[in-house]
Amino acid sequence: MKFELLKTDGAARVARLSTAHGPVDTPAFMPVGTQGSVKSLTPEDLRRTGAQILLANTYHLFLRPGHRLIGELGGLHRFMSWDGPILTDSGGFQVYSLAALGKVSEEGVRFRSHLDGSEHLLTPELSVEIQQALGADIIHPLDECLAHPVHRAETEASQALTLRWAARAKAVHSRGSGRQAMFGIVQGGGYQDVRRRAVEETCALEFDGYAIGGLAVGEPKPLMLDLLELSAALLPKDRPRYLMGVGTPPDLVEAVARGVDLFDCVLPTRNARNGQLFTAHGVLTIKQARYAADPTPPEEGCACYTCRTFSLAYLRHLFVGRELLAYRLLSLHNLHFYLALLADMRAAILRGTFDAFRTRFFERYAVSSLDVSSENLADTEA
Amino acid sequence: MKFELLKTDGAARVARLSTAHGPVDTPAFMPVGTQGSVKSLTPEDLRRTGAQILLANTYHLFLRPGHRLIGELGGLHRFMSWDGPILTDSGGFQVYSLAALGKVSEEGVRFRSHLDGSEHLLTPELSVEIQQALGADIIHPLDECLAHPVHRAETEASQALTLRWAARAKAVHSRGSGRQAMFGIVQGGGYQDVRRRAVEETCALEFDGYAIGGLAVGEPKPLMLDLLELSAALLPKDRPRYLMGVGTPPDLVEAVARGVDLFDCVLPTRNARNGQLFTAHGVLTIKQARYAADPTPPEEGCACYTCRTFSLAYLRHLFVGRELLAYRLLSLHNLHFYLALLADMRAAILRGTFDAFRTRFFERYAVSSLDVSSENLADTEA
């Protein structure tokens, strides 16, 4: 994997990440394909939204259909017919958020499947083995992700465990094909000094890039941004920085301003299925009666298939009638919006006008309840 | 509307139907867009399956979002962004099959909405008014559709009522824009002589084409084919013949052999959502364990996007995981299969080899339980 920094504007930066399955222009947003499918969309649709890289969930694919099956069928790219880059998480976040039990020991985390209750032990070694069978371009070591708030002593102990797991994961990874990159995950909870040490110790292990985890897990938004700023500033400039599971359009703008390169989040697709559309002016709720006879598209001038082809009145009719097409058309628009937002930010950074872009964005965008909540929507879409 | 007969081969025939929204090559299959959407598919997808004409349901669109709203927004073509021909039914079949009450009088049929229980009176005049607001290219008069079996006296009385309603509908239609064609509906239940008289009396009203209704409503398949053969043979050669709500691939082959030009049925899309794929060899049930590791497509050589892009193993994984994409990919394949079957039949008729085609079709196609049942899947997909 190659990471070529092209331009910085303040802390914001534009780069090109080169993987075995093609390039990614950063800052980039990764649509979430939890079970090996970005819900309701084909690979062809995803290309048309401008997506260059997808995220898939190790936890889900391990449980069903199983990493061995996917490996035997030629890996995840071939299985889901996506020939661009894929990033997988370690499975840890889902074990804590979806599975029962979630009993952490030095060895790993024991859990019961959310599908059938079967018991499994996810170790740092198994997590890498699964991700190797899937064949993702970028993989992650198993980590422990704490909710907020957690006491200092517990946070420090957890970060120390995450670091020991990272070393074990890296040892397995280093015996791999060399075609996969591995990102280290920076945890450290809500304490600036623990985060600082987490960054330093994780970087000492020398990963191909760094994920910032454990943010938007219940902490106030200002603290989240402070912790993010601190973590990003300490990370090496010549490696990609990935903010896990965040967030709303304003979150993305703020994170790019602090030097983040990669994002994933289920908001554009999950909220589409709940009838919410993202626009430059904020969030639009399609079922509202005001759209019943509205002949205009969700967003004037938007180049997505949905906006070029259908009216708010029709989309509302589909959504109210629970037509499957509604989920797809709204997902298409939302992903297009996210990917266009990232493209606009890249263009602004390249022109050296990112500050003006950011100001203009917040002048237009009506911040909603979504932007206040700090639920982490990390990489799980099931 | 123009109907140009190009070639006959036995009773089978190839023609070109010209409507205000473009041509239809017959025999043709119409995907069902009950609520103004062929479930999970865009107009773009439908074009790619080869669809030239769609069916939409008057009953559903009357109840939601309402024909007046669709009329104000420029009609159904613009509302759903389909610029090809559209055929609407009268709403009668759904009133009998979906709505509560369904109390028939000389005036019309009183029913309670399946959505909210609200009471409505659907008259022959209102049915035409709704279809005029929708702006379909081909519309139908309100009829009464009986289940099988029904006593002769009741059948005769019902057919007489259907005929009086047809005359009332035609009177309203004749004051319309002239841009819509109206097909008469031949009923007559399970009695050959009543059917014969139904054809004669309906034809005496001089419609632009003729729909054959009240088949596959519980009668044995041999009786259905006999009644179909009788009806089709008596209908004028220079007008299109439409068999309502039928059927399986073998049904379509048998009906084309008897001179039918137009079909609609929910089987390809509904059964896709239930995990059934139609192939030249019969029906394939995707959730079966035998497909779990199968790297081949549903049908070797099939030109549809699904078969060109995905394996049975992946499709099974999506279906088992209830991924929305499964319903879409299976629907795409099934519609492609139906439309390719019709295209193959047209080609065989044009070459004068329809008999050989029919023999070959039945040699390969494993007739399943679907072909034995005679549930009418007429034009309702909700």
User: Could B73 and A311 be called an inter-chain contact, meaning their C-beta atoms sit closer than 8 Å?
Assistant: yes
A65 touching chain B per CB within 8 A:
yes
pLDDT digits (tens, 9 = 90+) for B202-219: 999 999 999 999 998 889
Q: In what order do the strands lie in the sheet with A2-9?
A: A2-9, A12-19, A22-26
In this predicted structure, what is the pLDDT of residue B367? 84
In this predicted structure, what is the pLDDT of residue A108? 97
In degrees rounded to 5, what are phi and psi of residue A86? -130, 140
Question: In chain B, what residues touch A325 (CB-CB under 8 Å)?
Answer: 37, 39-42
Helices marked H in B205-246 — which ranges? 221-234
Do residues B349 and B318 make contact, with C-beta atoms less than 8 angstroms apart? no
Residues of B serving a catalytic function are 89, 264
Statement: residue B21 has pLDDT above 90:
yes
Q: Which of B143, B140, B183, B141 is nearest to B159 (CA)?
A: B143
Mean pLDDT, rounded, for B15-32: 98
DSSP result, B74-137:
T-HHHHHT--S-EEE--SHHHHHHTSEEEEE-SS-EEEE-TTT--EEEE-HHHHHHHHHHHT-S
Q: Please name the member of A314, A321, A329 whose beta carbon is closest to the beta carbon of B64.
A: A321
Report the CATH number of the A2-265 domain: 3.20.20.105
Which sequence spans correspond to the domains of chain B?
A: 2-265, 272-369
Statement: residue B374 has pLDDT above 90:
no
Mean pLDDT, rounded, for B147-151: 90
Residue A265 DSSP code: -
Q: Please name the member of A37, A65, A327 whose beta carbon is closest to the beta carbon of B292.
A: A65
Residue type, B355: D
In this predicted structure, what is the pLDDT of residue B79? 98
A71 touching chain B per CB within 8 A:
no
Q: In what order do the strands lie in the sheet with B109-112?
A: B100-104, B109-112, B119-122
Do residues B374 and B220 make contact, with C-beta atoms less than 8 angstroms apart? yes
Q: How far apart are CA B284 and CA A128, in angstroms?
A: 36
User: Could A69 and B327 be called an inter-chain contact, meaning their C-beta atoms sit closer than 8 Å?
Assistant: no
Question: In chain A, what residues touch B73 (CB-CB under 8 Å)?
Answer: 293, 295, 311, 313-314
In this predicted structure, what is the pLDDT of residue A372? 72
Do residues B94 and B380 make contact, with C-beta atoms less than 8 angstroms apart? yes
Q: How far apart are CA A183 and CA A187, in angstroms?
A: 13
Q: In what order do the strands lie in the sheet with A262-264?
A: A28-30, A262-264, A241-243, A209-212, A181-186, A138-139, A86-88, A54-56
The 10 Å Cβ neighbour count of residue B163 is 20
User: Could B37 and A292 be called an inter-chain contact, meaning their C-beta atoms sit closer than 8 Å?
Assistant: no
Do residues A31 and A268 make contact, with C-beta atoms less than 8 angstroms apart? yes
pLDDT digits (tens, 9 = 90+) for B114-134: 999 999 999 999 999 999 999
Q: Which of B269, B299, B288 is nearest to B382 (CA)?
A: B269
β-pair partners for A285: A276
Question: In chain A, what residues touch B292 (CB-CB under 8 Å)?
Answer: 65, 69
User: Could A314 and B42 be called an inter-chain contact, meaning their C-beta atoms sit closer than 8 Å?
Assistant: no
Mean pLDDT, rounded, for A206-214: 97
Give me chain B's average pLDDT, please: 95
Q: Residue A381's pLDDT band (boundaries 50, 70, 90)? A: low
Residues of A serving a catalytic function are 89, 264
State the best of B32, B38, B39, B42 to mutate against chain A, taking most chain A CBs within 10 Å: B42
What is the least distance, in Å, from the CA of A281 to any CA of chain B? Answer: 25
User: Could A325 and B65 be called an inter-chain contact, meaning their C-beta atoms sit closer than 8 Å?
Assistant: no
pLDDT digits (tens, 9 = 90+) for B28-74: 999 999 999 999 999 999 999 999 999 999 999 999 999 999 999 99
Statement: residue A106 has pLDDT above 60:
yes
CB pairs under 8 A between A and B: 106
Stated pTM of the model:
0.96
What is the least distance, in Å, from the CA of A138 to any CA of chain B? Answer: 22
